[in-house]
Amino acid sequence: MMVRFGLAALLLVAWLAPSLAAPARIIILRHGEKADDWKLCSVGQQRAKALAATYLGSAASKSLFPKGDEPAFFFAITSHTLELASPSVASWNKPLILYTVVPEPGIDADGFTRALNQRTQEAARNIVSNPALNGKTVVLVWEHRHIANADLDAKFGDEAVTLRKLLKLDILPGVPTTWLSDNYDYFWIVDYDESSNVPARFSMMKQEFGAEFAAVPANDWGKPDGLTASSGCKLGSAGDD
């Protein structure tokens, strides 16, 4: 009986092991500056190109991926995040996993938010439990309120709907409670210890592209981006999804 129990326990541990799998690193960023509900403005389009050239593309000058490493997958959720990620994804010749949410006629803001809630929950569950991602680096290009938003967390109470809550980033020091409307130019980088789906380390990194992409804002966290109506981009809270 004891031998059988021991064997059963080993089998159970082996079966549960994938549930403890998690990427080694998750890189989170927001979509680029928007023209409307569907597409990026010219500044956001430039940001997409700058990200591929500087940080996220296969030939990036300041790659976020260690030498010899590459992203396992890119994940996106809205048309804006898809557009921002596309130049980087294309450079790797890799698929982009899209948890699709798009504006539809007849769906009000609350309905759109709830759709984003559901798809964010599905993405987070996949990322921290999929054995194919164990020990890999993944990139999440996401809608900023569903990265972190204190008001959204309060509205839905015990139901986790932001990446901050779903990925348990709230247990780490220094993780902002809200991704601010004027900040498009930061990475959140989350590192996991081996064989753990609990985040171990968090850092924030500003996107800085140099003279070639001088029109792309690089404002500090919490500071205005300096864009005006002449940019063709939605401004401030008007730019929120």
Q: Per-residue confidence of the chain (241 residues) as pLDDT tens digits?
A: 333 333 333 333 333 444 566 899 999 999 999 999 889 999 999 999 999 999 999 999 999 998 888 999 999 999 999 999 999 999 999 889 999 887 777 678 898 999 999 999 999 999 998 999 999 999 999 999 999 999 999 999 989 999 999 999 999 999 999 999 999 999 999 999 988 889 999 999 999 999 999 999 999 999 999 999 999 998 865 445 5
Classify residue 164: in a domain, yes or no: yes
Classify residue 46: in a domain, yes or no: yes
Please state the domain count of the chain.
1
Residue with tokens 């409670």: 177
Domain coverage including residue 105:
20-239
Classify residue 12: in a domain, yes or no: no
Classify residue 112: in a domain, yes or no: yes
Strands (E), the chain: 25-30, 73-76, 96-98, 137-142, 186-192, 199-206
| Burial grade of 31 (CB within 10 A; 0-12, 13-18, 19 or more) | buried
Classify residue 13: in a domain, yes or no: no
Predicted model pTM: 0.88
Classify residue 155: in a domain, yes or no: yes
Classify residue 114: in a domain, yes or no: yes
User: Residue 70 belongs to a domain with what CATH number?
Assistant: 3.40.50
Classify residue 179: in a domain, yes or no: yes
